[in-house]
Chain A
Amino acid sequence: MYRYDEFDRKFVNDRVAEFRGQVVRRMSGELSEEEFRPLRLMNGLYLQLHAYMLRVAIPYGTFSAAQMRKLAHIARTYDRGYGHFTTRQNIQFNWPKLEDVPNLLAELADVEMHAIQTSGNCIRNVTADPYAGAVADEIDDSRIWAEIVRQWSTLHPEFTFLGRKFKIAVSASDYDRAVVRFHDIGLFIKKNDAGETGFEVWIGGGLGRTPMIGKISNEFVPAEDLLSYLEAVLRVYNMNGRRDNKYKARIKILVHETGLDEMRAQIDAEWAAIKDSALKVPEYEIERIRAYFAPPPFETLGAVDRGFETKKFENSEFARWVSGNVVAHKQAGYAIVNISLKTDDLPPGDITADQMVDLADLAEIYSFDEIRATHEQNLVFAHVKQSELFELWRELGETGLAMPNIGKVTDMIVCPGLDYCGLANTRSIPVAQRISKRYADLDQQFDLGELKLKISGCINACGHHHVGHIGLLGVDRRGEEFYQITLGGSGAEDAAIGSIIGPAFSSADIVDAVEELISLYVEIRNQGERFLDTYRRVGAAPFKSRLYPEKLDAAA
């Protein structure tokens, strides 16, 4: 795991002191809200519907037990006993007092954490594959490169006041577990024919009110040139991106309006001028960062653990959890464990302070003191011995975190919605809870297989509804909550933007509508087809006529 050096530590502490001064000046009236707002946003502090909200950065989603314990302490001391994991691998606290935030940030700094660049029109927290360093299908540990990008982008003077926020994700696998194609810049680590490491660069992806799949601007940027290439992309965007309309200010609009060929030409021209500059990443620096992400001291184990196989045979609930939440590890005898935060009791992504402490303890015992947050609002223990899976599962169960629903219909991405968010049109969490209750039967969930349902409470699409196999978008219809359904989206390697199926449903009817869609899928699916596969095979028409039969009657 990356550890702060002297520069990092001083920089973060200085920033806490600076913000403490800004808060004092705000409370005294020296700064108006208008003046203070951009300053607090640069430190991750929003004013939401009910209170302030602080978003804490977890670079590429990787953190330690000590950091998790500190988050638990913050939840208890400054919040109401909860934290909320987001789709940017961050954590949010919904109830801090403004006057307490400087102390809160100082406590975070004690464990090498901060809230810098989790908001504002800058390069945001860099995200990565949550299975990095653990999964066999990767070319390299994507966190090494996410960390290099993080260091380059942190307080980058040229890119601190962009036209709009800017999000970067890194993956090293053909399987996209980080919605890379829907980022302002998405990076896929590749090897060329000569065996050299480089990056396939996607630009102009995004969700929000204008969803777009990114486009490849360069198929292979050599590793040492990564930062100069990123700088060239950002510079072209910063110079030419629109600032007249915040809804047209993201790079996706610039790419769309400029055209990919012209964008490439502009980026390449800029790149040529800065390629051989201080931005070249020296090999020794790559190796220095790589050392932070060295594999943990794995034991030499057999590929199959007999005790583990026996437990699966003896205990069907354990076997179901393994089949749902446990993924193969690249190291023989180990496994990757997904911990679902989509439980019966709490909103999706929420976790109690007690659970945080329990998970911190378990991470130390079972996963080399390391935890990952995923963009699907779950957590991962990346390196667990197969022989210890049963004990881990039992202990997770004791803290209410053994739900075996990863990738299933109840494992929804859900934005906070109008229950917390000042921008939302409708609530999201209650709809998710009602769908979860309807599909609470695990046999039913496993029969349905992978089904990505995602819910946003407004067009800003924080719930990623555009890339849901089934997506729900909350809309206000004459003062009532309604939900529009999109079908056929995917945020994975088969990236697609969902299509609106028809008129929106009322809050009272939306769960029944979802059930109709799923029932039709069950009736017409072929062997082994996911909901998305069936939808792609048969198209929207059957789903449309199932949802809106009266329209068929009218047409007949």
Chain B
Amino acid sequence: MTHHVITANRLNDGLVVFMGKDGCWGNSILDAQVLETDEDLKVRLALANAAEQAQIVVGPYEIEVTENDKGEVRPLRYRERIRAYGPTTHADFAIQDVPGHLTHLDDVSPVYFNGVG
């Protein structure tokens, strides 16, 4: 089955958080608890909903993840990759250094007036 991690936004600052192995919430997906069975997912979602009731997070939900060749957890969908790693347009806002995440303009070649260049 597809593996999942649980994510939400933290109530007080709104930042993206992931549920870790100890049930605490952290900013890095690398520290998230990967859930491999439906049973684990169900238990952890209940815990996440309790965290919402306790004013820790807002709107928890599960996302699908894969592992890269280094064994690091990585969201399957690009929306969730942007949530996990930060906007792709501001290097300063990157949550972690992920190759290829930030927009690179190097491969765009300008067109010039009069065909020059």
Contact = CB atoms under 8 A, between A and B. Distances in A.
Given A80-B93, A434-B103, A438-B109, 8 more contacts: A27-B11, A29-B55, A50-B83, A80-B92, A419-B89, A420-B87, A443-B112, A443-B113
Contact of B14 (A28, A47, A80, A418): A47
B77 interface: yes
23 contacts: A27-B12, A29-B53, A29-B54, A33-B58, A47-B58, A49-B83, A50-B14, A50-B83, A51-B13, A80-B92, A97-B12, A98-B13, A99-B13, A419-B87, A419-B88, A429-B89, A430-B88, A430-B103, A433-B89, A437-B110, A440-B110, A441-B117, A479-B78
Which 10 A-B pairs rank lowest in CB-CB distance, beginning with the nearest? A443-B113, A52-B14, A430-B103, A419-B87, A51-B14, A444-B113, A97-B13, A437-B108, A441-B112, A29-B55
* Residue of B77, B89, B113 most packed against chain A (CB within 10 A): B89
A515 interface: yes
B88 A51 contact: no
B52 interface: yes
B98 interface: no
Contacts of B109: 438
B110 A441 contact: yes
Interface in A318-348: 347
A69 to B, nearest CB: 23
Interface string A440-484: 110110110000000000000000000000000000000111000
Interface of B: 9, 11-16, 52-55, 58-59, 76-79, 82-83, 86-89, 92-93, 103, 105, 108-114, 117
A439 B78 CA distance: 27
Interface string A11-45: 00000000000000011110001000000000000
Contact of A427 (B16, B88, B114): B88
Contact of A434 (B9, B77, B105, B114): B105
Given A33-B52, A438-B109, A440-B110, A433 B13 contact: no
Contacts of B83: 49-50
Interface string A41-70: 000000111111000000000000000000
Contacts of B82: 49, 418-419, 427
A519 to B, nearest CB: 8
Contacts of B53: 29
A396 interface: no
A274 interface: no
A441 B54 contact: no
A281 interface: no
A490 B93 CA distance: 35
A98 B14 contact: yes
Given A29-B55, A50-B87, A441 B11 contact: no
Interface of A: 26-29, 33, 47-52, 80, 96-99, 347, 418-420, 427, 429-430, 433-434, 437-441, 443-444, 446-447, 479-481, 511, 515
Contacts of B54: 29
Contacts of A479: 76-78
B107 to A, nearest CB: 9
Contacts of B13: 51-52, 97-99
Contacts of A439: 110-111
- Max chain A CB contacts within 10 Å: which of B77, B93, B112? B93
A99 B89 CA distance: 27
Nearest to B114: A443
Nearest to B55: A29
Given A97-B13, A419-B87, A481 B78 contact: yes
Contacts of A27: 11-12, 55
A437 B11 CA distance: 38
Nearest to B87: A419
Given A28-B55, A444-B112, A515-B111, A98 B11 contact: yes
Contacts of B14: 47-48, 50-52, 96-98
Given A50-B16, A441-B111, A441-B113, A347 B9 contact: no
Contacts of A26: 11, 55
Nearest to B16: A50
A430 B117 CA distance: 24
B79 A418 contact: yes
A29 B16 CA distance: 20
B29 to A, nearest CB: 13
Contacts of B93: 50, 80
Nearest to B57: A33
B33 to A, nearest CB: 21
Contacts of B105: 433-434, 437
Contacts of B89: 347, 419, 427, 429-430, 433
B110 A433 contact: no
B63 to A, nearest CB: 13
Nearest to A28: B55
A388 to B, nearest CB: 31
Contacts of A50: 14-16, 83, 86-87, 93
A427 B102 CA distance: 12
A337 B103 CA distance: 32
Contacts of A29: 53-55
Given A27-B55, A439-B111, A433 B103 contact: yes
Nearest to A511: B108
A245 B111 CA distance: 46
A175 to B, nearest CB: 28
A84 to B, nearest CB: 11
